[in-house]
């Protein structure tokens, strides 16, 4: 039995110098053919145009508003609340949140897929070597060795590979915008939850204070009952009021604990032993984001930019589907050195150049189906993009309305709380003097508790409305660029 070499060496018919010139000429011919083919290529990708969307000149909710006290929407918008504890929480969440970490990994995955999709645009080159040894009767031994290189290149005459590469690049870009959307949602959620924690702490303190006052009044009534001044009905009415106030305490405590647990998860840590520093809710300033023009949302909202990148990717896929109908050209070249004995190690050069042309004839409708699917995906992308824009416009208008109306509501609730506090003080004083009955005191207590609780909730609603406005305007595009990079480095 005999073994054959990987490549049969050509029998030299000229000297080594002539062989070298022959190989160099073949390589030059290959390079020239590639250059001509690339320069002659064309693209079948449809010309992209941004879909039309209904954009007004300004937002209705911003009409007539003053810009004097507004702040620009930019990266790090949460610092406008001037709360160091909040700043630290947001930065911690951007570094440790697991949902954001997943989004960052998705970006890297998409970039890897884009790199893989772009590989067919370049020639492929492989290097190999063989060493064969065979026996041919009576101890006769033959040896051969070769060192060879093989190159191939698909001439992207119709832009098939370029379109697929561009589609993958745009999907990676969309993934980066999705990461920014996750980061924007995360920062808004952390800020909202932080304010909610402070609000619940204040409401809990009010409930305990009202409960303590009700307990003191009950003790007073019991003393008056023993003196024959208060009736059993008044005592039982106060017991009912006290129990009602006390029942509000555990309910608020449960909401507070749940909010702290949620904040811990947003910060990327377990809820056990997680604490949040106290902050006076009334002392936190409420910034007014400067309303941009509606058209600016197309560039500042990462969710809109993601949809447009996906639409552009679908547009490139249509071009690739069109190019798949047309013939493609593949150039291959190989060359190397070989010999039949170790004494003449790799002394015989060889080279070859080939061109192949393939064209689809019958595929059962696969190519036409792919084209139809790509065109439908593009149409879907147009609708998704337009829907994202319309939803963003609604988001801004809703946030503007909430910010304006909650400001008015808080002012009214403040007046109501001030009046209720004065009424409760007067009722208790007059009851001790015997000028009003006990029901007046009881009603004043309940009214004060409700007014103070409502005022705290109104303050929370104003703070969260301002957060919603920052988020609706995009939160300063690129908010996660540096943070995402540092987070990636810390995990590597």
Nearest partner of 263 among 191, 182, 184, judged by Cα: 191
Which of these ranges, 30-39, 69-78, 423-432, has the smallest mean pLDDT? 30-39
The H or E element containing residue 71 is strand 70-71
Whether this model's pTM surpasses 0.85: no
pLDDT (average), residues 117-141: 77
> What average pLDDT score do residues 21-40 get?
46
Specify if 466 maps to a domain. yes
Mean pLDDT confidence for 87-115: 94
Average pLDDT over residues 256-277: 93
Lowest mean pLDDT among 301-305, 479-483, 487-491: 487-491
User: What does the pLDDT read at residue 445?
Assistant: 85
- State the Cα–Cα distance between residues 31 and 4, nearest whole angstrom: 32
174-198 per-position pLDDT tens digit: 999 999 999 999 999 999 999 999 9
> In the numeric block, which tokens belong to residue 381?
């992308």
Residue 38 lies in a domain: no
Confidence of residue 165 (pLDDT cuts 50, 70, 90): very high
**pLDDT given at position 350:** 60
pLDDT of residue 265: 95
State how far Cα 234 lies from the chain centre.
59
| Closest of 338, 293, 235 to residue 473, by C-alpha | 293
| pLDDT, average across residues 89-96 | 94
- Residues with Cβ within 8 Å of 173's Cβ and at least 6 positions away in sequence, in order, are 309
Return phi, psi of residue 140, to 5°: -70, 130
CA-CA-CA-CA dihedral for 456, 457, 463, 466, to nearest 10: -150
What burial class does residue 405 get, using C-beta atoms within 10 Å of its C-beta: 0-12 exposed, 13-18 middle, 19+ buried?
Answer: middle
Class of residue 321 by CB neighbours under 10 A (exposed 0-12, middle 13-18, buried 19+): buried
Q: Is residue 110 part of a domain?
A: yes
> For residue 79, is it within any domain?
yes
Contacts of 252 (CB under 8 A, 6+ apart): 200, 203, 204, 207
Residue 244 lies in a domain: yes
Residue 398 clears pLDDT 70, i.e. is over it = yes
Helix, strand, or coil (residue 359) = coil
At residue 14, does pLDDT exceed 80? Answer: no
Instruction: Read off the CATH number of the domain in which 307 is found.
Output: 1.20.1600.10
Q: Identify the band that residue 65 occupies on the pLDDT scale cut at 50, 70 and 90.
A: low
The model's pLDDT over 209-266, given as tens digits with 9 standing for 90+, comes to 889 888 888 898 898 889 888 889 988 988 998 998 899 999 999 999 999 999 999 9
Report how many domains make up the chain.
1
Q: Is residue 217 part of a domain?
A: yes
Specify if 4 maps to a domain.
no
CA 190/CA 77 separation, integer angstroms: 13
Look at residue 10 in the predicted model and tell me its pLDDT.
34
Beta strands (DSSP E) in 340-398 are: 348-358
Tokens of 315: 């547009």
What integer is the mean pLDDT of 261-287?
A: 92
Judge whether residue 88 has pLDDT over 90. Answer: yes
Q: Which contacts (CB < 8 Å, 24+ apart) does range 227-230 have?
A: 230/438
Is the pLDDT assigned to residue 21 strictly greater than 60?
A: no
Find tokens 């290149």 and name the residue.
Answer: 153
> 195 lies in which domain range?
48-122+160-326+367-491
Asked if residue 474 lies in contact with residue 302, where contact means CB atoms within 8 angstroms, the answer is yes
Query: Does some domain include residue 228?
Result: yes
Question: What does each C-alpha distance from 216 to 213, 222, 223, 249, 421 come to in angstroms?
Answer: 5, 10, 11, 17, 17
Q: What is the pLDDT of residue 315?
A: 95
**Residue 479 — very low, low, confident or very high, per pLDDT cuts 50/70/90?**
low
The string of DSSP codes covering 273-331 is T-------GGGS---EEPP--GGGHHHH-HHHHHHHHHHHHHHHHHHHHHHTTS-EEEE
Residue length of the chain: 492
Q: Is the pLDDT at 447 greater than 50, yes or no?
A: yes
In this prediction, residue 97 carries a pLDDT of: 94
Owner of token pair 């600016």: 296
């Amino acid at each position: 039995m005999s073994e054959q070499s990987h490549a049969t060496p050509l029998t030299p018919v000229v000297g080594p110098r002539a062989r070298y010139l022959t190989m160099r000429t073949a390589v030059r011919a290959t390079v020239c053919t590639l250059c001509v083919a690339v320069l002659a290529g064309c693209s079948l990708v449809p010309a992209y145009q941004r879909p039309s969307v209904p954009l007004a000149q300004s937002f209705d909710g911003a009409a007539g508003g003053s810009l004097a006290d507004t702040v620009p929407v930019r990266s790090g918008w949460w610092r406008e609340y001037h709360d160091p504890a909040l700043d630290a929480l947001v930065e911690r969440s951007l570094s440790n949140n697991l949902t954001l970490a997943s989004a960052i990994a998705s970006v890297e995955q998409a970039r890897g897929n884009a790199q893989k999709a772009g590989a067919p645009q370049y020639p492929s080159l492989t290097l190999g070597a063989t060493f064969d040894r065979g026996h041919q009767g009576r101890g006769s031994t033959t040896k051969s060795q070769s060192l060879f290189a093989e190159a191939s290149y698909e001439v992207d005459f119709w832009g098939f590979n370029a379109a697929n590469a561009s589609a993958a690049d745009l999907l990676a870009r969309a993934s980066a915008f999705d990461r920014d959307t996750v980061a924007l949602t995360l920062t808004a959620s952390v800020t909202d939850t932080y304010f909610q924690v402070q609000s619940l702490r204040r409401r809990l303190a009010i409930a305990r204070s009202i409960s303590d006052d009700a307990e003191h009044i009950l003790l007073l009534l019991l003393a008056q009952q023993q003196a024959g001044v208060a009736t059993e009905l008044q005592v039982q009415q106060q017991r009912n009021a006290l129990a009602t106030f006390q029942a509000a305490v555990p309910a608020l405590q449960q909401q507070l604990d749940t909010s702290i647990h949620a904040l811990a998860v947003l910060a990327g840590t377990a809820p056990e032993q997680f604490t949040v520093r106290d902050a006076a809710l009334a002392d936190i300033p409420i910034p007014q984001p400067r309303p941009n023009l509606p058209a600016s949302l197309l560039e500042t909202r990462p969710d809109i930019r993601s949809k447009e990148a996906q639409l552009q990717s679908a547009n490139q896929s249509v071009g690739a589907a069109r190019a798949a109908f047309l013939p493609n050209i593949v150039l291959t070249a190989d060359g190397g050195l070989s010999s039949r004995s170790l004494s003449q190690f790799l002394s015989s050069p060889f080279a070859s150049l080939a061109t192949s042309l393939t064209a689809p004839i019958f595929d059962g409708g696969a190519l036409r189906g792919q084209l139809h699917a790509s065109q439908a995906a593009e149409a879907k992308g147009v609708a998704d993009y337009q829907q994202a824009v319309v939803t963003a416009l609604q988001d801004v208008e809703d946030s503007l309305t909430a910010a304006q109306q909650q400001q008015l509501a808080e002012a009214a609730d403040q007046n109501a709380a001030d009046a209720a506090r004065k009424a409760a003080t007067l009722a208790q004083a007059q009851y001790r003097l015997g000028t009003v009955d006990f029901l007046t005191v009881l009603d004043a207590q309940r009214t004060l508790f409700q007014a103070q609780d409502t005022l705290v909730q109104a303050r929370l609603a104003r703070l969260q409305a301002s957060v919603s406005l920052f988020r609706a305007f995009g939160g300063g595009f690129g908010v996660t660029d540096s943070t995402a990079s540092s987070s990636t480095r810390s995990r590597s």
